[in-house]
Structure 1
Amino acid sequence: MRYYPILLDLHDKYCLVVGVGQVGTRKVRTLLSCAPGRLRIVDTREPDPCWRELIEQGLVEYHIRTFLPEDLEGCFLVIASTSDENLNWRISRLCAERGILCNIVDQPEKCSFILPAMHSQGDLTIAVSTSGSSPALAKKIRQDLGACFGPEYARFLALMRRLRPLILDLNLPTSENTAVFRALTQSQLLDAVQSGNDARILEVLRRHLPESLHPRLEDVIGEPD
């Protein structure tokens, strides 16, 4: 295995995208879904209409100019997707010198990290990588996984996100907590969530959770995801 798989928290991080053609635009949208602390786009072209609202809301900084080394100051992660290979290579070298994570689109040899094919449903993220050997295969596997892991997983995990702290607050032994969480994942809870039947969800939860939590379950189920 050449690459070390990792998930990054970008909430307080400065991220930079240089070049926002079709591919760069997709990268920006993925970054935005992770709510980075700051996101700067540098491109020599005027921003497409799709960026205007994001710029006005302060979610994106858009600079109409060429890349400058100063853009890297305080930067945590860089994605370069320009059509200028020399510029991409320069950005890669500058990032390497500064210890900044850098991805050069379609040029893994210039990257300190590569981006997997991803399937997401709420808190569920499944990443598929062929280490650059066959992005087409990674995309196919992602599509196959998408057929198996639908929106019910997003609601299931939203429910678990609300239940988990309640269960842990009971201060049960670790072995009992483990047994409860395992029982929930192996129960009919996912099927109940998929059915959209709150009464059925409540029935499954009451069957597997300690009685002290039962009075709170209806509120937990009714909370928005």
Structure 2
Amino acid sequence: MRYYPILLDLHGKTCLVVGAGHVGRRKIQTLLSCGPALVRIIDPKQPDQCWQELIDLGIVEYASRSFVPKDLDGCFLVIACTDHESQNWRISRLCAERGILCNIVDQPEKCSFILPALHTQGDLTIAVSTSGSSPALAKKIRQDLGTCFGPEYGRYLSLMRQLRPLVLGLGRPTEENSELFRKMTESALLHAVQADDRAQVLILLKDFLPQSLHTRLEDLIHELD
């Protein structure tokens, strides 16, 4: 395995994207969905209206000019996707000197990290990588995953995100909690969520969960969407 797989927490972090063309836009949107403190965009073109609201909110900082090394100040992560290979390579070298994570689109040999193809459903994220050997194959596998992992997984995980802290808050032994969550995962609960059979979801949860949590269940199930 050439790369070490990792998921990064971008909250409170500043990210830089150099180049706001078609590819850059996709990278920016993905970064924004992860909740960083700021996404700094450098592109010679004037910002489109789609960025203006985010600029006004202070979530996006946009500079209509070419990249300068000072743009790296305070950055945790950088993505370079300009049309000029020499510029991308320069950014990569500068990031390496400063110890900043850097991705150069379609040039894995110039990156300190590469971006996998992603299939997401709510809190579920499945990353597919061919270590840069065949992005097209990674994309196909990601598309195939869509037939196996549909919206029901997002709804199921939304329910579990609310249930898990309630169970852990009871202070029971770790082994008991692990066994409980395992049985829930192996049960028909996911299928009931998929069928939007809320009555069956309630029955199954009452079978698994301690009596003290039963009064909370109807409200949690009502929030399934």
> Which position in structure 1 is the counterpart of 2:200?
200
Paired residues in the alignment total 225
> Which position in structure 2 is the counterpart of 1:131?
131
Shift of 1:169: 1.1
> Which position in structure 1 is the counterpart of 2:35?
35
User: Structure 2: how far apart are the matches of 1:196 and 1:46?
Assistant: 46
Shift of 1:209: 1.3
Q: Counterparts of 1:93-108 in structure 2 under 5 Å? A: 93-108=93-108
Q: Counterparts of 1:78-93 in structure 2 under 5 Å? A: 78-93=78-93
Query: Any idea what SS the aligned residue of 1:207 has?
Result: helix
> Which position in structure 2 is the counterpart of 1:218?
218
> Which position in structure 1 is the counterpart of 2:72?
72
Query: Does residue 54 in structure 1 map to residue 54 in structure 2?
Result: yes
Q: List gaps (5 residues or longer) in structure 1.
A: none
Q: Which amino acid aligns with 1:192?
A: A
User: Structure 2: how far apart are the matches of 1:133 and 1:92?
Assistant: 20
Per-residue displacement from partner, 1:150-209 (whole Å, max 9, x unpaired)? 111111001000000111111111111011000111111111111112211101101111
Query: Any idea what SS the aligned residue of 1:148 has?
Result: coil
Query: Any idea what SS the aligned residue of 1:36 has?
Result: coil
Instruction: Report which stretch shifted further, 145-154 or 42-51.
Output: 42-51
> Which position in structure 2 is the counterpart of 1:181?
181
Query: Any idea what SS the aligned residue of 2:91 has?
Result: helix
Q: Which amino acid aligns with 1:196?
A: D
User: Structure 1: how far apart are the matches of 2:156 and 2:32?
Assistant: 24
User: Structure 2: how far apart are the matches of 1:224 and 1:186?
Assistant: 20
User: Structure 1: how far apart are the matches of 2:193 and 2:61?
Assistant: 40
User: Structure 1: how far apart are the matches of 2:215 and 2:72?
Assistant: 53
Instruction: Report which stretch shifted further, 16-25 or 209-218.
Output: 209-218
User: Structure 1: how far apart are the matches of 2:59 and 2:134?
Assistant: 34
Q: Which amino acid aligns with 1:122?
A: G
Q: Which amino acid aligns with 2:212?
A: S
Kept after mapping to 1: 8 A contact 2:159/2:224: no
Query: Any idea what SS the aligned residue of 2:82 has?
Result: coil
- Per the normalisation by structure 2, the TM-score is 0.97
Distance change (3 Å), C-alpha of 1:189 and 1:224: closer
Shift of 1:54: 2.2
Kept after mapping to 1: 8 A contact 2:81/2:105: yes
Q: Which amino acid aligns with 1:10?
A: L
Query: Any idea what SS the aligned residue of 1:41 has?
Result: strand
User: Structure 2: how far apart are the matches of 1:136 and 1:86?
Assistant: 25
Instruction: Report which stretch shifted further, 99-108 or 53-62.
Output: 53-62
User: Structure 2: how far apart are the matches of 1:92 and 1:183?
Assistant: 47
Instruction: Report which stretch shifted further, 93-102 or 166-175.
Output: 166-175
User: Structure 2: how far apart are the matches of 1:59 and 1:200?
Assistant: 42
Q: Counterparts of 1:109-148 in structure 2 under 5 Å? A: 109-148=109-148
User: Structure 1: how far apart are the matches of 2:179 and 2:202?
Assistant: 19
- Per the normalisation by structure 1, the TM-score is 0.97
Identity %: 70
Per-residue displacement from partner, 1:110-130 (whole Å, max 9, x unpaired)? 000000000011100000000
Query: Any idea what SS the aligned residue of 2:147 has?
Result: helix
